[in-house]
Copies of this chain bind each other. A is one copy, B any other.
Amino acid sequence: MLDFDILEYQERLERTKKSMEKQGIEVLLITDPANMNYLSGYDAWSFYVHQMLVVIIDEPQPIWIGRYMDATGAKSKTWMYDENIMAYPDYYVQSDRYHPMEFVAEILEEIGHGNRVIAVEKEQYYFTAKAYEVLKAKLPNATFKDGTLLVNWVRIHKSDQEIEYMRKAAMIAERSMQAGLQSIHTGSRECDAAASIFFELVKGTEEFGGDYPSIVPMLPTGENTSTPHLTWSDAYFEEGNSVIVELAGCYKRYHCPLARTAFIGQPPEYHHRLASIVAEGMEEVIAKVKPGIYLEELEEAWRKSTRKYGIEKESRLGYSLGLNYPPDWGEHTASIRKGDKTVLQPNMTFHFIPGIWEDHYGLEMSESFRVTETGIELFTNYPRELLVQSPFQLPDGSNGIIS
């Protein structure tokens, strides 16, 4: 039932404890669902209520704390003993009288850790300002530290098994992109294309099924290509529309994102030109990737390449990537941008997405990659160009790409 060998979970835990030791942390309260999964195997859509994994520096197993109805799932999906699964009653859920962190504080006191150095993930979606206030009030003898990203930084080094999962996610990403592009023509609505993409993402292949991506497919169309995070509407596609397709295949919560830009009909020359500038910049970056360099050197390569065409990019070029849950598939650690001194090492993985968003038009092309012993492995294999689409669905249903 576990997605990884139990030894892999234990090795992850050891690396986490080493980092805790270095930072003087005795008890780490983990509320990021990806970090919980990474260390315990727990995978469920229960992160909309409070839950956590408690890692105690001198205990061999973490403790899972969550809602009563989710404890059965925690027992079956984690490698820990059943007595390390602890559940709070339902009256704590979304209540104006009780808070689950009161329950957590009581447990920590009971098992003798109420007076230790406790770290919480302060900058994390599922750890609220209120949760922290309650913990501090109920554990007056604890010393609190910030444990944000501690486990995320452990996650940045992927195992071969994790890479294998990302390769499967990549296969799903390619198929989903193809299905989406087939649905982009004037007889189809944005929601129809999004539906086709979702179908492939979740179905996966004959050999293995897909998982839900942490971000829904983005499909900004026409003027909306100038803004990256609008989701689909039910408008029909029109000849002359640009359409950005940004999606991620997902396998056992491991992601492989892929973005491309399509044009319905014959694009203005400028669109082709922008696409080839971006493609050239991407080539320069891809050629540069190898162990030992700083991440910011990739940004520098991009800047050098595109500056000569007058392209200035305000936002970062990408980020570390892997296991995640909504609302984000990025790991929030290393970013491909100026000033990032992360040194590239084998089995680090990134989404490289140099999106260009102008006032009335935008273009996205992206690659997800792994750093190898000597260079780079691209996870997907998809033409890196503006994808010119026939406006009409062809009789053989092939539609799709005409150039």
Q: CB within 8 Å of B: which residues of A? A: 43-48, 68-70, 72-73, 76-77, 89-91, 93-95, 120, 122-133, 146, 148, 189-192, 194-196, 198-204, 208-212, 215-216, 218, 223-224, 226-234, 314-316, 319, 326-328, 330, 332, 335, 337, 355, 357, 359
Contact = CB atoms under 8 A, between A and B. Distances in A.
Given A130-B122, A130-B123, A199-B199, A229 B326 contact: no
Contacts of A208: 234
Of A191, A229, A314, A315, most B-chain CB atoms within 10 Å: A229
A209 B191 CA distance: 6
Rank and list the top 9 A-B pairs by shortest CB-CB distance, nearest first: A209-B234, A191-B209, A129-B132, A73-B227, A195-B203, A48-B328, A90-B315, A122-B130, A195-B202
Contact of A94 (B190, B227, B330): B330
Given A90-B316, A357-B72, A327 B48 contact: yes
Contacts of A231: 43-45, 211-212
A234 to B, nearest CB: 3
A198 B202 contact: yes
A211 to B, nearest CB: 7
Contacts of A48: 125, 215, 327-328, 330
A19 B2 CA distance: 49
A73 B196 contact: no
Contact of A123 (B128, B148, B204): B128
B72 A226 contact: yes
Contacts of A76: 223-224, 227
B130 A146 contact: yes
Nearest to A68: B314
A290 to B, nearest CB: 25
A28 to B, nearest CB: 15
Interface centre among A190, A192, A212 (most CB of B within 10 A): A212
A391 B73 CA distance: 26
A248 B219 CA distance: 22
Contacts of A337: 90-91
Given A44-B227, A122-B133, 9 more contacts: A44-B231, A45-B215, A45-B229, A45-B230, A70-B227, A72-B357, A128-B129, A189-B209, A326-B327
A18 B204 CA distance: 50
A355 B72 CA distance: 15
Contacts of A91: 337
A133 B190 CA distance: 41
A339 to B, nearest CB: 8
A91 B299 CA distance: 14
B209 A202 contact: no
Contacts of A120: 129
Contact of A210 (B125, B128, B191): B191
Contacts of A192: 203, 209
Contacts of A45: 215-216, 218, 229-231, 327
A230 B146 contact: no
Contact of A194 (B123, B202, B226): B202
10 contacts: A43-B230, A69-B315, A69-B355, A76-B223, A89-B314, A191-B202, A194-B202, A195-B201, A209-B233, A212-B216
